[in-house]
Amino acid sequence: MILLWSLTLLITITISAAFTTYYFGVASRRRLIISTTTSLYDTGLLDAIEEKFEKEYPIDLYFISVGTGQAIEHAKRGDADLILVHAPSSERAFLTSGYGICRKIIAYNFFVIIGPSEDPAGIEGCNVKDALTKIVKAGREEKALWVSRGDESGTHLKEKALWTLVGFNWTEIRKENWYVESGTGMGKTILIADEMEAYTLSDIGTYLKYYGDERISLKVMVSEEKPLLNVYSVIAVNPKQIHDVNFEDAITFIKFLTSKKCQNLIANFKREIYGKSLFYPAVPLLRESPNSTIAQWIKEFAYFNGTECPEEYRDKHPELYG
């Protein structure tokens, strides 16, 4: 009887110890929520970053993949600890309204205007201004279609800025029959444009992913011009505004994104598959070649008051900006 009781006690202690060890193993890993753009998520880059980060830190990353406008709203509601987006005007408002802090530019690439190989508007090889002008003309002649995300994402904001740059009133042309709004993310918008044999604006990363996977046949018609520059930034949610955010781990993740190892990951991500980088690392460029043409474009497009993050929004983290 004593032997049976001792055996039972031993089994109970062993099971409890095993359970306790498992419980604390899970509890020791913290959670960090990132609200981000579909263009970053769809390419698989964030999966690669997550894998390396989680091996190094006891932090589990969770991504909310939406357009930039929605990503910012999630953060304002306290549903995310930081944002990873590509719309400088919206990012500036996020900082100045008190919701964002410690902004860092981490990567860049270019938007591209893509369209069917038949190119009914005849835009291949044109500059942005001529290309969009021809698309409007062909659209009004019922020869071409344009698909817009129409979702206030970073891509959509860029599109609207391009229409203004070219001299068209976006609020007026969006009412015309040739202009179609998908109201969805980048990947789905590309698929819709491909099905409709239409033109659209895409970030190069998402386009290369879908084209490389043979999911679309659309071709790049216009690319790598200054107006098509696409800059990605990370911003922590201000704990003084949203009190229950995981600010400490957000700073850890920002430091990881700007580290040499992660910047190299960004530079080499799937380059051997697509023959070119989907994204380019911005940190070494701005630090080591600040006077290069691309660096100057980034500063002109994505800096605020001559810096990626004015001092009043750095929360005493000068190590991020040395």
Task: Convert the pLDDT of each residue in 82-139 to its tens digit.
Answer: 999 999 999 999 999 999 999 999 999 999 999 999 999 999 999 999 999 999 999 9
Predicted pLDDT of residue 1: 39
Helix (H) or strand (E) holding 128: helix 128-140
Distance CA(155)–CA(39), nearest Å, equals: 9
- Dihedral of the CA atoms 50, 51, 57, 60 (nearest 10)? 50
Q: Start-end ranges of CATH 3.40.190.10 in the chain?
A: 30-109+230-320, 111-228
Predicted pLDDT of residue 27: 52
Mean pLDDT, rounded, for 33-58: 94
Helices (H), strands (E): how many in the chain?
A: 15, 10
State yes or no: pLDDT of 22 exceeds 90: no
Mean pLDDT, rounded, for 68-89: 95
- Across the strands, what pairs with 31? 60
Distance CA(85)–CA(232), nearest Å, equals: 6
Predicted pLDDT of residue 204: 93
Mean pLDDT, rounded, for 218-246: 96
CATH number of 30-109+230-320: 3.40.190.10
Q: Which of 131, 105, 106 is nearest to 119 (CA)?
A: 131
Average pLDDT of the chain is 91
State yes or no: pLDDT of 194 exceeds 70: yes
State yes or no: pLDDT of 6 exceeds 80: no
Taking only the tens place, the pLDDT of each residue in 42-54 is 899 999 999 999 9
Distance CA(202)–CA(194), nearest Å, equals: 12
More confident residue, 2 or 257: 257
Mean pLDDT, rounded, for 74-86: 96
CB 233 within 8 A of CB 105: yes
Q: Which CATH superfamily is domain 111-228 in?
A: Periplasmic binding protein-like II (3.40.190.10)
CB 178 within 8 A of CB 144: yes
Prediction pTM value: 0.87
Q: Where are the beta strands (DSSP E) in 211-307?
A: 219-223, 229-237, 280-281
